[in-house]
Structure 1
Amino acid sequence: MALIDTYRNNVARKKKELSNLQSDKASEIKKASDSEKKIIAAKNSISRTKSGSIIRSKLREIERYSNKLATSNKKIAILENKTASKSKEIASEEKKMQNEETKEFKKREQIEAKRKKETQKHMKDLQSSIAKHDSLHIQTQKEIADLRKVPEKITVLFIASNPLDQQQLRLDEEAREIELMIRKSEYRDSVFFVTKWAARPLDILQAINEINPTIIHFSGHGSDEDELVFQDNSGKTKLIAKEAIVQTMVSTSDDIRLVFFNTCFSYGQAESLIEHVDAAIGMNTTIGDDAARIFAAQFYSAIGFGYSVYKAFQQAKSALMLEGIPEENTPELYVKKSIEIQEMILVNP
Structure 2
Amino acid sequence: MIGTDVVYRNENFLQVIKSYYQLTKPRIIPLLLITTAASMWIASNGEVNSFKLFITLLGGTFAAASAQVMNCIYDRDIDYEMLRTRTRPIPSGRVRSRHALIFAFILGFLSFSLFVAYINLLSGLLAMSGIVFYMLVYTHFLKRNSSQNIVIGGAAGSIPPLVGWAAVTGDLSWAPWILFTIIFLWTPPHFWALALMLKDDYAQVDVPMMPVVEGEESTVHQIWLYTLLVIPCTFLLIYSTETLGFLYGMSALILGVMFAQKTWLLKQNPLDKSLARSLFKFSILYLMLLCAAMVVDSLPITHKVITILGNNLNIFANYIWP
Question: Could you say which TM-score interval applies, normalised by the shorter chain?
Answer: under 0.3
| TM-score, normalising length: structure 1 | 0.25
Which protein has the larger Cα radius of gyration, Structure 1 or Structure 2? 1
Q: Which has the higher strand share?
A: 1
Q: Which has the higher helix share?
A: 2
| TM-score, normalising length: structure 2 | 0.27
